[in-house]
Chains A and B, each alone.
Chain A
Amino acid sequence: MSAAVVSRRAFLTGAGALVVGFTVPSTAFAQRLPRADAALGKTVDVGEVDGFIAVNADGSVTIFSGKVDLGQGLRIAIPQMAAEELGVGIEDIRMLEGDTALTPDQGATGGSSGVMRGGVQIRQAAATAREALIALASARIGKPASELDIVDGEVRPKAGGNGIRIADLVGERRFNLKVDAKAKLRDPASYRVVGKPIARPDIPAKVTGRHPYVHDLVVDGMLHGRVVRPPAVGASLVSVDDASVQSIPGVRIVRIKDFLAVVAADEWDAISAARLLSARWSESSALLGSDGVRSWMKRGPFEGDETLVKKGDATKALVDAKKVSAEFYWPVQSHASLGPSCAVADVRDGKATVWSASQATHRFRETIAKALAMPRDAVRIVYLDGAGCYGMNGHDDAAADAALLSKAVGRPVRVQWSRQDEHGFDPKAPPQLLALEGSVTDDGRIDAWRTQMWIPKATASLPNMPLLAIDAAGIAQTPGITMGLISQNGDPPYAAPHQEVVVHWLQGAPLRPSNFRAPGKVANCFAVESFTDMLAAAAQRDPVEFRLRGLTDPRGIDVIRRAAALIKWQPRDGGAPRTSGSGRGFAYIHYKHNESYVAIAMDVDVDKSTGAIRVRRVACAHDCGLVINPAALTAQIEGNILQTLSRTLMEEVAFDRSRVTSVDWASYPILRFPEAPEVLVDIIDRPREPPLGAGEAAATPVPAALANAVFDAVGVRLTSVPFTRDRVRAALG
């Protein structure tokens, strides 16, 4: 047991009065914003302006966002969109995120939807509010609405003269107004806030240790829980030796069927007890093992086949052609979040509050309510920042752990996972296998293209990824797997008269899967864009020229030209690799064929003796339509690139028949500073186009650009991820 003897310093930051080292009374709900609970009881209807926007008496505006900031910058981007439409200074906007009692259900924060859908929804509410505020002022001032605008939080005559503060029009009252889909948006030419690189509000607190993560939350009376996971996936608990933790006073063991945990007042006591606890588990060896994944993918069992694309007659066109073919493999990977998953739950008196880094608090509320056998309305999920998540990591699992434990002990419980459990038990990105065949015409264009994919089939209408604690405790939940739309972008973005894309849907997955950044499309673009280079080589064309010849979409052409210019691309006559040890590669995507456009070029050195790849420089041209905040956008693009380089160069989950064996940063290494290349980003702003997502698209061309650069450097083609030294040396022969 540890306790502070001297009085604790109070830490208050200057940034928005965030309270740090924050403790909340168990009777109140914690919020990141002061006085946030004053809004309790307001509507959370997505169709109501009041769902999203409140004008406060001091003239500030609170935005209630169902989309949350996972580190990607929504905490500035959405306020910028709202500030612009309302005519309020960005410094007067506060945003509250992902609280089921206060924010509308805007769907999960995923699939690059934060700005594209969430921000756009709030922008429309803000435009509706602006029109309403101007109408109110029009009656008071006696001027027609057309002659008024809102500037700096005041409705003013455009021609000049005194205005009325919006706080004086509706401050602390509600709009009682439906969001009007026809409310007119401001002309992008007049933007004052959107498009500016405004600094993110959370960074000062993040780099001074004051930012309130869920990991830092303390609730009055809170205990610390640690779950003891089975030594083998699927093992059941046979017996527990309660005496094994007797040396630590005050430890309580919680066992619900196969769910085993310890709870203590002190965190170190809980950790120590979890390590000491002696339990017997059944044997289980139901896993494939990482070495068996690739052969399983071809072997099945299968759910069935599906043809996603069929144009012309690829089968016939490929019969007589000088065919090019290749097979590409993407392994099981971990989210490998830097901070192990954490949550705090307070389940008492027929009510539950869960503080979680969940990407989808509203959906998750259903899951928790069902697991606790409570009505939905008795459950509140409050989003607090976790360590970066790039899809669904262990955060919902940790929240379920905490909820079951709190219910069992009748006190608030905080659960944080160990590093070993995070690597061992976080849901994984599923493996993917692709076989491609193609041919080119005599004049150097793609003629026929066939993609076959072997990928796990998601369970239709699965309400939530099955969670470990709920499963272990024997509580009913809908079984199945989910991992996002992993079959997209398997067809080329280039003209090809004969095309076919077929999916062989596999039953199940090697380890519990979930969505991981740009689900499936990282591997699909790796295959499609590596193969495009192979076809360019077969056509004896420069890779960039070959791509441009296949495109008519001007936005696609633009990003390709600009990425080539950014890296000073030198055309390769005849398309042959230079094999000098240094190489340059290129790749392109039109994300989902209807979202952002990205082209990436990169320079690499390959050491032929060691097999080491060094990425020197990456250049990216990026078009996601209207840019809300170029600085936050650039950070997202850089993050996409560096994280995907890590995934491509280093990452593969190792597991045997019983358990994951790569359970730390030594056995599951990720990119480190010495390996970090220079990154150049060219953003194409298109103010007249809708804003599109940027959280994922730039990840997808990275593996192929890297593989294509390695091919240029040493003349061998890497088709299996990760590109380890051993793999490179083996490919070099």
Chain B
Amino acid sequence: MHSLSLHVNGESRTVELRDSNEPLLYVLRNALRLTGAKYGCGLGQCGACTVVIDGEAERSCRIPASKAVGKTILTIEGLGSPDNPHPLQAAFIAEQAAQCGYCAAGMVMAGAAALARKPDLTRDEAKAALAGNLCRCGTHERILRAMARASTRTA
């Protein structure tokens, strides 16, 4: 067993893994019970598993847990809560920007990372920032409105 220490949502968490190459996604979801990040493809193609690592939106399905040691991991649960949402989460709620919502956590994390880098994203910049995140329900228009709303607020 490999004992790994991960820095997640401001806390130090220790996990015991048989395989230190277990993707971070499964460690978050099962060992740490942080189930906001979702398995979508395991291929880094859809963005449902997106978390922010050292400020960058990353695909947790493609990152071995061992490679996340020593880094700062932020998941959707650490970004905000229904009672105390991050401005982008508040914007998603205001725009009702989810249907099934399976992609929502990844969308919010990718969007939040982009807004942290550039708080006043244009519509085209927001589209580019979310280009790697798929939505099957067709919520794109609302998510773009949420990005615009949060962009204005944090500008």
Contact = CB atoms under 8 A, between A and B. Distances in A.
A216 B35 contact: yes
Nearest to B123: A678
Interface in B116-155: 126-128, 130-144
Given A1-B16, A674-B127, A206 B42 contact: no
Contact of B133 (A4, A339, A635, A673): A673
A72 B99 contact: yes
Contact of A5 (B16, B43, B80): B16
Interface string A414-440: 001011000000000000000000000
Interface residues of B, number: 73
B142 A638 contact: yes
Interface in A445-469: none
B67 to A, nearest CB: 15
B77 A208 contact: yes
Interface string A46-86: 00000000000000000000000011110000000000000
A207 B110 CA distance: 12
B54 interface: no
B57 interface: no
Nearest to B101: A206
B109 to A, nearest CB: 9
Contact of A2 (B27, B104, B108, B134): B27
Nearest to A422: B41
Interface string B87-116: 001001100111111111100100000000
Contact of A643 (B23, B92, B96, B136): B136
Residue picked from A2, A20, A200, A218, most chain B C-beta under 10 Å: A2
Contacts of B97: 203, 207
Given A632-B96, A639-B99, A5 B15 contact: yes
B101 A6 contact: no
B59 interface: no
B100 A210 contact: no
A387 B102 contact: yes
Contacts of A20: 35
A1 B1 contact: yes
A554 interface: no
Given A204-B82, A635-B139, A666-B45, A6 B14 contact: yes
B22 A2 contact: yes
B63 interface: no
**Interface-central residue, B79, B85, B97, B141, by most chain A CB under 10 Å:** B141
B31 A213 contact: no
A674 B128 CA distance: 6
A204 B140 contact: no
A673 B140 contact: yes
Contacts of A639: 99, 137-139
Contacts of A362: none
A706 interface: no
B141 A638 contact: yes
A419 B102 CA distance: 14
B32 interface: yes
Contact of B93 (A21, A204, A387): A204
B39 A339 contact: yes
B137 A665 contact: no
Interface in A184-238: 199-200, 202-211, 213, 215-216, 218
A267 interface: yes
A408 interface: no
A338 B134 contact: yes
Contact of A339 (B14, B33, B38, B77): B38
Interface in B23-48: 23, 26-27, 29-43, 45-46, 48
Nearest to A388: B100
Contact of A388 (B41, B83, B89, B136): B136
Interface stretch (A11-19, A479-487, A489-497): A11-19
B42 A419 contact: yes
Contacts of B134: 338, 665, 670, 672
A664 B136 CA distance: 14
B75 interface: yes
A5 B102 CA distance: 28
Most chain B CB within 10 A, of A3, A5, A209, A641, is at: A209
B27 to A, nearest CB: 6
Given A8-B33, A419-B40, A638-B141, A199 B77 contact: no
Contacts of B80: 208
Interface of A: 1-6, 8-9, 11, 13-15, 20-21, 70-73, 199-200, 202-211, 213, 215-216, 218, 248-249, 266-269, 271-272, 336-340, 385-390, 416, 418-419, 631-632, 635, 638-643, 646, 664-666, 670-674, 676, 678-679
Given A203-B101, A209-B76, 18 more contacts: A6-B14, A11-B33, A71-B99, A203-B97, A207-B108, A208-B85, A249-B18, A338-B40, A338-B137, A339-B40, A387-B100, A419-B42, A638-B138, A638-B141, A639-B139, A646-B138, A665-B134, A673-B140
Q: What are the 4 A-B residue pairs with the smallest beta carbon separation, nearest first?
A: A209-B36, A642-B138, A71-B100, A206-B101
Interface of B: 1, 3, 11, 13-19, 22-23, 26-27, 29-43, 45-46, 48, 75-77, 79-83, 85, 89, 92-93, 96-105, 108, 126-128, 130-144
